[in-house]
Chains A and B, each alone.
Chain A
Amino acid sequence: MPILAGAVFLFSFLFPASAQGRQGRYGGSVVFSTISDPKSFNEVTAQETSTTEILQYVFEGLTRLNPYTLQVEPNLAKRWDVSADGLTWTFHLRDDVRWNDGQPFTADDIVFTFNDLIYNPDIPSSARDIFTIGGKEFKVTKIDNYTVRFVLPVRFAPFLRGMTQAILPQHKLKEAVKDGRFNFTWGIDTPPKEIVGTGPFRISEYHPGERIVLKRNPYYWKMLDGDRLPYLDQIIYLIVQNQDTSILKFLEGELDYVGVRGSDYPLLKPLEDQKHFKIYEVGPDFGSQFVCLNQNDRVNPDTGKPFVAPFKLRWFRDVRFRRAIARAVDKKRIIEILKNGLGYSQNGPMSPSAGFFYNPNVVKYDYDLDASRKLLSEMGLIDRDGDGYLEDADGHRVEFNFYTNSNSPERIQIAGIIRNDLEKLGMKVNFLGMEFNTLVSKLNVSYDWEMILLGLTGGVEPHFGNNVWQSSGQLHMWNPGQKTPSTEWEKRVDEIFVEGVQILNENRRKKLYDEWQLIVSQQLPFIYTVLGANIFAVRDKFGNLDPTPLGGAFHNIEEIYIKE
């Protein structure tokens, strides 16, 4: 369970007007399951997917990502103009939108969401980091009731994608902000009808540890062939902590949808007809899983000792060493063993599902232990004393620690497979699984690690990973928080991320980010492993169902209806 990246952006707004939308019938409910309770209903302070998964039905942004094309399209804003210098953006809002308590939605709500919530110094919000460029905020002003102007300090290419940011109601929250109570407002102890959004559903009941019931928002603005959407009366989320239980509940007919792991596939596939459901495979997951070597070349200021032993650092910083390891990752076998063959090998930082910005032409490392051995002996790492392990010229045995988080059984198994192959090369790998918190403090605070297997969640927009890729970033794991980039290629990546965010022409941007993906695959700060396939099973009873990799099965939930 690594990182919740992209959660807000990926899940926020995926309601498209699907091309083949047909008129449906009203009524009925759909039953989903979620692995854990929402932690809050506060869209601004909330971080984790258990919360955003529920709130995606309740709140909307000015724009949204089209789940088919992955392009930005109008949502609460019906159109926008941009000035020639790319700094002034004027949004024209829909005038037929109401909050789910019947109040009208206006420009005041947008000004409030940005100026009083996101930019409020007393409210911790990850959105502020996204909407603050070089320490400067956007200027958000109301022109009239249905027009808002954003003035940016510099050009910001992901701006429209950022505008999927959920808008919150001023009339419900301004008192809480004034009293300084906002951080503790809209927690799970709030009566659900107080949670007011513009989305197709509103929260109607929440029973901790059991279920969340969302009911149709009667004021929802979207229409389909003269029908006011959504068609469904309610969405019920059962909280089921265990994936195996979810599968059983699905087979019993209690759930209408379930995520399918590679290992579940052989169980479910033969039952499709008998139990009336269909399995969809929509391509690779977002996110990544990778091996990373510690390249931190600095000295621990507390002890005066280097973070990484100098002779090991010499190996880790040598790209041949990293390439040798990349050649020793048997992706085919990992997919075969762990995913039942339902997986994809990953070669670069973007998932193929990311579409436009994904660069397929990166360096790929096929499993080839002989090639690894050749690279290692080029570096002078050979078995000098005949004990079966490699040594460098000074007689240091090639031995290092390998950590991962122990709460993911799959990751432990992947680490086992990788370790096995590295041992075959003659490396002594001391593997240890540990609690996630412990691992993170090693990564971020003590820098006391040598090799890790970890994951990051990803999205469509490369810039939102800049904390990882810029050499000054805290998540630049292999050598975080550098004052000046320690290698030429890191310097080039820094330039790409600084430049890329200011180019408004998407094709020119893509060229830059293609280069970044190529550099990463050549230099291998992260040695990528495999991506799972995004597979799910849906009961055969829904109309207008049209799954996509980005949005999953129910991205157009407001158009989905129950067939007779």
Chain B
Amino acid sequence: MFTYAIRRILIAIPMILIMALFTFLLMQKTTGNFYDLLRMDPHISAEYIHKYEQLYKLDQPLLVQYFEWVKNLFHLEFGYSFYYNIPVVNVIGGRLWNTFILSFSSLIVTWGLAIPFGIWAALRRNKAVDRVIQFCSYLALSTPSFFLAMLLLYFASRTGLFPLGGMHSAHYEELSWFGRRWDLLKHLAIPVIALSVASVGSLQRIMRGNMLEILHQQYVTTARAKGLPESKVIYRHALRNAINPLITLLGYEFSALLSGAALVEIIVSWPGLGTLMLTAVRSKDIYLVMASFMMGGILFIIGNLFADILLARFDPRIRYE
């Protein structure tokens, strides 16, 4: 098990570096560079821009720039942001945490709602409750999260029930401890709903399908025939087996923690990575883009590993050598 994990991690390293090379080349090969914006400023001379290009080695051949970057990686340096003139790690810092809060909240809401709904729908198969849940799921699945976020913002602007985007109020510092928590929850409501709705729809359907499949298994019939109470049959025997396949999904969800919310973040002005990365890509702030890309890649690999290990833990049929 342990050697398996180590092997997976070792394989991941060249994979990430190769992916990084592709991102790097894509960023570099499109026309123009970061300093084009400054080139159009009547106050800024060509020498000034040249100075910066030298500072960040933009005048060197591409591969030299790439290997310079890789070399620094081993010293745990991720390069400087052109825009901010500080290490990219410091630019990303606090925003990483904000994105995490948002994604994690929506993860909890999604799973907390989808699993019970899925079970409920499976147990009431083809009854009115099931029909309503399935109808709502289709509706939710076909609503893009960014669009829903806009609708919710509109709703908020008409009713004044929720703040119009952002993460804290302007006067957050003056609030009490309780007031601050409440303030954060109010700001979380819209993005979390927007992010969760579609996922609840799809996850619920998977849960329902799994549950139905298990309920038709012979051992469930056996358990019922033995005269076990229905609650035991469902929660002890059926549910545990039905939830297994979802654990793999949890691993994928983990990898999307930092990137999945970008669009919604931009719409509700959540101070996360979304906007930062959008501007970074558009203005060609290469090392900032690379750093976020690395984070995404690493999380993806960790998430998958995490899912595999969990699966082995919960499913006795799976063993890694």
Contacts and interface: CB of A to CB of B under 8 A. Distances in A.
A130 B42 CA distance: 10
Interface string B262-283: 0000100111100110010011
Contact of B94 (A39, A125, A208): A208
B84 A39 contact: yes
Interface string B27-56: 000111100111111111111110110010
B19 interface: no
Interface string B160-188: 10001111111101000000000000000
Contacts of B98: 209
A236 B170 contact: yes
Contacts of A407: 282
B91 interface: yes
In the complex, the 9 A-B pairs of residues with the closest C-beta atoms, listed nearest first: A209-B271, A437-B32, A187-B86, A189-B90, A440-B36, A441-B32, A124-B51, A129-B45, A467-B42
Nearest to B283: A437
Contact of B43 (A208, A436, A467): A467
Interface string A408-442: 00000000000000000000000000011110110
6 contacts: A3-B42, A124-B51, A208-B93, A209-B98, A209-B272, A248-B157
B237 interface: no
B86 A211 contact: no
Interface in A170-188: 183-184, 187-188
Interface of B: 30-33, 36-49, 51-52, 55, 80, 83-87, 90-91, 93-95, 98, 153, 157, 160, 164-171, 173, 266, 269-272, 275-276, 279, 282-284
A443 B40 CA distance: 9
B31 A184 contact: no
Contacts of A184: 80, 85-86
A130 B45 CA distance: 9
A188 B91 CA distance: 8
Interface stretch (A14-22, A237-245, A524-532): A237-245
Given A124-B51, A184-B85, A248-B157, A238 B170 contact: yes
A208 B36 contact: no
A440 B276 contact: no
Contacts of B283: 437
B269 A241 contact: yes
A248 B164 contact: yes
A40 B270 CA distance: 20
A3 B166 contact: no
Given A47-B41, A126-B41, A437-B33, 6 more contacts: A124-B48, A207-B94, A209-B271, A241-B266, A438-B32, A441-B32
B39 A440 contact: yes
A240 B40 CA distance: 26
B105 to A, nearest CB: 17
Contact of A210 (B44, B168, B282): B168
Given A207-B271, A240-B269, A129 B44 contact: yes
A3 B38 CA distance: 8
B41 A436 contact: no
Given A189-B93, A209-B272, A47 B157 contact: no
Contacts of B42: 3, 5, 456, 464-468, 475
Interface centre among B30, B32, B80, B94 (most CB of A within 10 A): B32
Contacts of B282: 407, 435
Contact of A209 (B43, B86, B270): B270
A34 B47 CA distance: 31
B81 to A, nearest CB: 9
Nearest to A481: B46
A249 interface: yes
A237 to B, nearest CB: 9
A208 B95 contact: yes
Nearest to A188: B84
Contacts of A248: 157, 164
B36 A130 contact: no
Contact of B95 (A209, A252, A466): A209
A5 B40 CA distance: 9
Contacts of B44: 47, 126, 129
Nearest to B169: A254
A163 to B, nearest CB: 16
Given A236-B170, A242-B269, A440-B32, A130 B39 contact: no
A166 to B, nearest CB: 14
B83 A39 contact: yes
Interface string A42-61: 10010100000000000000
A312 interface: no
A209 B166 CA distance: 8
B42 to A, nearest CB: 4
Contact of B90 (A2, A187, A207, A440): A187
B164 A210 contact: no
A345 interface: no
A239 B83 CA distance: 17
Contacts of A183: 55, 85
Given A210-B271, A437-B33, A5 B43 contact: yes
A377 interface: no
Interface centre among B42, B51, B164, B165 (most CB of A within 10 A): B42
A273 to B, nearest CB: 19
A522 interface: no
Nearest to A442: B31
B95 to A, nearest CB: 6
B269 A438 contact: no
A248 B160 CA distance: 10
B166 A210 contact: yes
Contacts of A4: 41
Contacts of A443: 40
A474 interface: yes
Contact of B275 (A8, A128, A209, A466): A209
Contacts of A456: 40, 42
A245 B165 contact: yes
Nearest to A246: B164
B48 A129 contact: yes
Nearest to A46: B85
B278 to A, nearest CB: 10
Nearest to A38: B84
B320 to A, nearest CB: 41
A36 B170 CA distance: 16
A45 B33 CA distance: 18
Most chain B CB within 10 A, of A210, A239, A249, A441, is at A210
